[in-house]
Amino acid sequence: MTEPQDPFTPPSDPYGVPQQPAQPPAAPPTYGTPPPYGQPLPYGQPLPYGATAPLGSRRNGLGTAALVLGIVSFCLFGFVIPPVLAIVFGFIGRNRAKRGEASNKGVATAGAVLGIVTLAFAAVVYGVLIANFSAFQRLQDCQRAHPGDQTAQDQCARDFVHDVFGIDTTSR
């Protein structure tokens, strides 16, 4: 009987040249795992399910906050702090986008514009209210002076419209 050959002995080369150790084969591309953080994705390769694209050090928070505050300030018209914050955050977010630190310049701009429009509209409305404060006082005093008389109350309203807008509302 012949003895089995030892599996750990290198095979003999018939030409007498020592063999180079074999290189391991290149690993096939894996489609189930995302690349390590900070590594670019290979061109044309889709992201695996559930993976997010690496954004590096993008700082988009202030632009997003500007847009949210701009929308909130537009809806909650009476407050002054949200539009001011929307304007400040919007300009800071735009500057970050110009420097390449953020990627949402349009969002930051929209938030700043909403803040500016809301603040300007509020200034006009509050200005009209303050400028016509005495007319509002006269209307209130007139209506209190004639609590049950509808004709007198209507005349009070006509006088108020004339005081504020300069329009004569008497029927012809």
Q: Does 111 map to a domain? A: yes
Please give the pLDDT value at position 14.
Answer: 60
Please give the pLDDT value at position 53.
Answer: 52
Q: Does 118 map to a domain? A: yes
Residues 92, 138 share a domain: no
Please give the pLDDT value at position 16.
Answer: 58
Please give the pLDDT value at position 94.
Answer: 93
Residue 146's domain comprises 133-165
Q: Does 6 map to a domain? A: no
Q: Does 35 map to a domain? A: no
pLDDT along the chain (172 residues), means of 10: 73 62 63 61 63 63 92 85 94 91 91 94 90 90 90 90 81 56
Q: Does 83 map to a domain? A: yes
Q: Does 16 map to a domain? A: no
Contact 66, 111 (CB under 8 A): yes
Q: Does 55 map to a domain? A: no
Domain count, the chain: 2
Place of tokens 């050959």: 5
As a whole number of Å, the end-to-end CA separation of the chain is 133
Q: Is the dihedral of CA 8, 13, 16, 20 positive or negative?
A: negative
Please give the pLDDT value at position 164.
Answer: 85
